[in-house]
Each structure stands twice: as structure tokens, then as C-alpha cells.
Amino acid sequence: MNHLAHCFLSFGDEDILLGNFIGDFVKGHDWEKYPRPVQRGILLHRAIDFFTDHHPLTDRSVNRIRPFARRYAPPFVDILYDHLLAIHWEKHTSEPFLDFVEKTYAQLENRASEMPPVLRERLPKMLAGQFLHGYTQRKGLEWVLHKFSQRITGPFDPQAVADAFFQEIDGYSEDFKVFFPELVAHAELFLHQNR
């Protein structure tokens, strides 16, 4: 899952959110350097990624997009699933999307000084661009896909990925509709078991 889902799966807890948000940038045992509440968020991030990477429905989505994204199909699906979360938001929570993102932006800004340097540098631009809002529209999703394609090696056509996704969005939506509630339950259980 990408930014939106990781933020959503922090369940409004600012410490968990910080850890979950920085999870990709904390390598090896470096998570042990953070306070215990933030450690839980970092480890939650890893648990979310592991669950997602090994779920048969995400496998099905990955196989759909693989002809266009090749070996980068799994991270592309993470991004595509954030769009599905955004457009089906009301099926997963009663909290209005705009309330959620504004609260999340404020919490991330509060904790910027605790983030790894690369994220401290990126965060002001992300916040200024309202990066979570982008997942709600095709244009924003295409922008995220384009930015991601610039960070990976090999010739990729992010527009072809987006076109292929929107041509089969019903199939991806069916995968996501079943997968995401299972991921929510997994994240809740992980936090309960790792208090």
C-alpha cells in the first residue's frame, strides 16, 4: 500500500502515523532507535507491506498490470490501490475524507523534525501539494505514477499503466473490495498484539 493507506491504517494515532509514514526509510534494526510508540508504527508499516505482498487478491491485481509495469508491478498496484481507497472512502470509514487528510497533514507537520532527513526535505512540498488529495482523481493518480516512474530504472510508460488500470478498474475494484477490509483487520490485530 502507498501513502494514503498507510496513513489511514494508523487509525488517528500520531505516533503510529509517524512510524507508518517513515517506515520505508527506516532500514534494518534502525527502528529500535525510535521511541516505543513510533516503533509500533514502523513495525506496523512492515506488517502491512508483508500482508499486502503475500495476499492472493493483490497477486491477481499485480498479474493484471504486470505486462505494463513488469517487475515493478507490485509497487504500482500499491499506488493504484490508494486511488481505489480514495474513491471508495465512505465504504471504509464514516470520517469525511477532507477531515481525515487535513488532520493527517497537521499531524505529519507536527512530527517533521523526527523524520529521516530525506522525508524532512520532501514533506513541505508534499504538504503544499496536498499529496493525499491527489489520489481522489485520475489526474492526480497519473501524476503519482509519473513521479514514481522517474525513481526507477528502465523505460516505463506511466500513462500506459494508468490507461490499463482504468480500462479494467472494475476488476481491480473487486480485488480491493475483498482485500482491504482484511488488511484493516490485520493492522488492527497487529496493533492489539503489539501494545
pLDDT score for 122: 93
Average pLDDT over residues 114-121: 95
Closest to 148 (Cα-Cα) out of 55, 56, 82, 57: 82
pLDDT band, very low/low/confident/very high, at 150 (cuts 50, 70, 90): confident
pLDDT band, very low/low/confident/very high, at 152 (cuts 50, 70, 90): confident
pLDDT score for 60: 97
pLDDT score for 186: 98
- What is the value of pTM for the model shown? 0.94
Amino acid at residue number 128: A
Per-residue pLDDT of 58-76, as tens digits, reads 999 999 999 999 889 999 9
pLDDT score for 148: 86
Average pLDDT over residues 28-41: 95
Average pLDDT over residues 136-144: 92
CA distance 88 to 20: 22
Sequence-distant (6+) residues with CB within 8 A of 132 are 3, 4, 7, 101, 104, 105
pLDDT band, very low/low/confident/very high, at 118 (cuts 50, 70, 90): very high
Note down the domain range covering 152: 3-193
pLDDT mean across residues, the chain = 95
Average pLDDT over residues 53-58: 96
Average pLDDT over residues 79-83: 96
pLDDT score for 151: 82
Residue 155 has pLDDT above 80, yes or no: no
pLDDT score for 14: 98
Residue 21 has pLDDT above 90, yes or no: yes
> What is the number of domains present in the chain?
1
Residue 147 has pLDDT above 90, yes or no: no
CB distance 3 to 23 below 8 Å: no
Sequence-distant (6+) residues with CB within 8 A of 34 are 19, 26, 42, 114
